[in-house]
A and B are shown apart, each in its own frame.
Chain A
């Protein structure tokens, strides 16, 4: 975490002829901010953007009578954010992040205010928010800003879908998208839109893991149920979907293995899906964990494990099955994992 590990990696690249020493030194001086620092910066920018939004609301209400003027002010903030990112300095980038969040919030708040029907307003806000956030991913900005915007895109998309089984399908689609993109990381990493793809992937992975947690969170489930957003099919559809994603991921990862190894791996994955059927969050975490390990993304490996732990905590309180059934589910998955380990050791 002090850059020493990075130094060792760059030295290895030079030694093995991937880079020359001069180029490696240049790369070392341009290393991006580590993820934990980006997270702290995001919190600071979020707080600053709240203050900026708060400060802009009152004068805007005095200056402009209609919503159009205030929307224009929001767009000006967004344009300022893009300009600030273009300066490529840490200070202006941090300011750009706060301006972008404030501008997006200002625009969609005004759009929500002009439509009387709450359902229509909700849809309009989601569409506008999604388009705005997607638009802000495109121009040059920091990875943190792009990821926050991508997170807004996925969230608005979920809100737009709103209710019923479609939301379950959307949650599965996010898991599938995240797994597929991580498995092919080496392919798209040098593409022209790698930075944008990366932001969408990081936000999609986070949304997929949070989605699994939300599926179990009792208060959220009840809140969604009260507005008719949850159907009886929701848990089954989600469990079936993520099982399919996990099986596909295992099949893809073992594509070059001997047929009997492949069949054995698929069989084990199938058994795991059956054992964890009542705890689909464990399947989601497993699928994402396999994919991020294949992609060699260490922070996401840790986050996928943490998500599984948090899911387990939430699983205790969910009311969809009894504690005895939950205990059986966990015992079966635990035994299966220990059995798998024993077999792997013997095979190795």
Chain B
């Protein structure tokens, strides 16, 4: 039986770190080649070529409509956009449910939906803000995303939904009380959106994805922590952002506990820890006297080094515990 890609990577990594001798590596190579075998190449190529091919083709459709060919009647353009969408959905219907072609075709349908919406906006000069395009895109692609159960489609959905929300908060007049993005309300809303995605994937991952691998949870946790950290840091100086600091405290503590005790995920745990170090460092800078002298700056630097070193040491220990035989 050949080595898997993960196992070969592991062997070579150990060798590079000086932990595996040349003789041990040679013995591993005698058992099976230390490179992917033909079947591994074909399996990877099958998935990659399907998704990359569909992505490039649908991107070509987007680029084509962005060119805005003046001589081409808008109905022809609509016909082309609908043809792309139909081709994607038709291929998915013809493909094996949840197979590579099926998922790649529905991913293509997600991108083609955006192209069609952009074309409508371009042709009729709807005057819609960009966030409305992103919101409509996120909503209309949702059925394809749910049907595909593909991580790529879900990742696209998360990005588009975040773009819709942040752009809305940035420029809308309807929600004028937010003013601009960097206020407590908008930051908490962005975090809330990503938190709901995180919770949904924690609860229903096996139903939402064909091959659950926790990538979406990590992406969503980044979306939760990024606005809270930004607000949490500035919150030590701006009273208006103090609620964000408090929410950060609750979310980071709960998150660290959940991903340490209940559902061990070292990536999310590390994000929570390092985010906490960033906010704690800001707090330290805030409480220290307002002068940039040698001692104080080195004190803050040492705090960062000590905090990050302890956090890293703990995470590495947990990582190694998982590796122990």
Contact = CB atoms under 8 A, between A and B. Distances in A.
B142 interface: no
A184 to B, nearest CB: 11
A43 to B, nearest CB: 7
B306 interface: yes
B323 A190 contact: no
B135 to A, nearest CB: 20
B305 A45 contact: yes
Interface in B269-325: 270-271, 274, 277, 281, 292-298, 300-302, 304-310, 312-313, 315-316, 318-325
B254 interface: no
B50 A338 contact: yes
Contacts of B321: 3
A297 B27 CA distance: 20
Interface string B45-69: 1101110111111111101101101
A1 B266 contact: yes
Contacts of B93: none
Given A9-B7, A185-B12, A296-B9, A51 B312 contact: no
A296 B300 CA distance: 40
A41 B17 contact: no
A152 B60 CA distance: 37
Interface stretch (B34-42, B174-182, B193-201, B240-248): B34-42
Interface stretch (A203-211, A237-245, A329-337): A329-337
A33 B319 contact: yes
B270 A40 contact: yes
B6 interface: yes
A51 B60 contact: no
Contact of B17 (A32, A48, A58): A32
B274 A7 contact: no
B: interface residue count bin: 35 or more
A13 interface: yes
A48 B9 CA distance: 32
A47 interface: yes
Interface in A6-40: 6-7, 9-14, 16-19, 21, 24-25, 27-34, 36-37, 40
Contacts of B45: 340-341, 344
The majority secondary structure among interface residues of chain A is: helix
Interface stretch (B18-26, B123-131, B161-169, B203-211): B18-26
Given A40-B274, A296-B9, A328 B312 contact: no
A334 B66 contact: no
B64 A323 contact: yes
A54 to B, nearest CB: 6
Contact of B27 (A18, A41, A54): A18
Interface in B62-98: 63-64, 66-67, 69
A17 B69 contact: no
B29 interface: yes
Contacts of A126: none
Contacts of B10: 6, 9-10
Given A143-B17, A331-B56, 10 more contacts: A44-B304, A90-B309, A98-B305, A195-B16, A198-B16, A296-B6, A296-B34, A297-B12, A312-B59, A330-B59
